[in-house]
Structure 1
């Protein structure tokens, strides 16, 4: 059996914080047991697998989706055991408790309208003080675990930010190096090109200073009309 403890507010008595524990095997679709305490008194109740299936059929929703809503309503957060999609952040769930503390019900708020997910009859716990201490102890232990987990995540997030900043700095250096290399290569290309142009002009000047060859002289005479 898996036991999950959380603190909830009851819509019919919002001033008093309640501790809720849900015990189940596998997933909530197989049925579950519930313990509830207001810090002084405590109650127990159970929901069978048949009751869960009957409610899902009554609502005309797939069993998997209904179990997921139960998980979100009674346990909160995360993914329902056994699979299924993650509930949307906009999903809101509420709880009600009769004045005689004999019936506990849970709802999903859809568009401001409460949709009844289920209810169960409560029985006074035989040892309410012991159960209350157990629930509070489990809640404190869970809170301590979450604080430790949050601290680890914060440290991991800090390291990720440092790595990100380091990578950005390296990228900036690489971009600067690439730009410098591009400028150097372009300057060298221009220098080599100018040197080649100067060499070509020098060769052209040297070529123009050479005496004309016999064929060139003949062509010149032909153009001037001179006899052979």
Structure 2
């Protein structure tokens, strides 16, 4: 299925005797579920490697792997340079090259090698790799533009939400202040009424106490008068 095909392109810096000289190749990989194709160029010459399903199956059996797992591991190392892996692209005679890379599995150092044939058309193979890189760069640039635009929209939305939140907070503060002012006014009014009622009750109690004292005084006077009358009798 077309959707299961993946493409990668790795720029691989090769070890050279003179550290001041840079030697690099570009490896374009086309990855299928059970096989893969490689196109390699150094800018002048080009090579290809078409690993068939049968070849991948045989290699996978040697490493006790299913073909899909073998292809996935090859894609991992040839699609993205892995730290700690030693890569090689050495002469194999008759214009052929041997592409190799190392990795560790369960503590054991392993090396995979694939022989690459000279391209039948160096210019075309190199052009295809450069076209792929250009298309990938264009897609990446478009994606960056889309991400940037999306980020700007999110930023604008965040600023709008922030302003709206500040507005809500201000309105909430104003509302709470108004409600608090009304509550204080009502509370003070209630306190004033309570004080008024308390004063009235105090006055009533004072008036009632005064009346009682007068009544008691009157009763004592009448008793004294009666006693006086009895003595005269």
Structure 2: 5+ residue runs without aligned partners?
223-233
Aligned length: 206
The residue that corresponds to 1:96 in the other structure is 88
1:9–1:17 CA contact under 8 A, matched in 2: yes
Q: Deviations over 1:87-142 (max 9, x none)?
A: xxxx63663211455110134589xx995462201111111211111111121111
The answer to whether residue 117 in structure 2 is matched with residue 123 in structure 1 is yes
> Matched residues in 2 for 1:15 and 1:165: separation?
49
Q: Name 1:36's counterpart in structure 2.
A: 40
> 1:117/1:168 Cα in 2 relative to 1: closer, same or farther (>3 Å)?
farther
User: Partner residue of 1:141?
Assistant: 135
Tell me how far 1:20 sits from its aligned partner.
1.6
Q: What RMSD over aligned residues (CA atoms) do the two structures have, in Å? A: 3.8
Q: How many angstroms apart in 2 are the aligned matches of 1:165 and 1:54?
A: 59
Change (3 A) 1:6 1:220: farther
| 1:23 aligned residue (20, 30, 33) | 30
User: What does 1:143-182 correspond to in 2, within 5 Å?
Assistant: 143-182=137-176
Change (3 A) 1:40 1:123: same
Alpha-carbon distance change, 216 to 31 in structure 1, aligned in 2, over 3 angstroms: farther
Aligned partner (choices 187, 193, 197) of residue 193 of structure 1: 187
Distance 1:163 1:200 in 2: 54
TM-score of the aligned structures, taking structure 1 as reference length:
0.71
The aligned residue for residue 74 of structure 1 is: 78
SS at match of 1:53: helix
Quick check: which one's helix share is greater? 2
1:9 and 2:12 aligned: yes
Q: Mind listing any 5+ residue stretches in structure 1 that lack a counterpart?
A: 78-90
Q: Counterpart of 2:227?
A: none
Equivalent-residue separation in structure 2 for 1:118 and 1:219 (angstroms): 121
- The TM-score normalised by the length of structure 2 is 0.69
Residue aligned with 2:124, SS: helix
Instruction: Choose between structure 1 and 2 for higher RCO, CA contacts under 8 A separated by at least 6 residues.
Output: 1
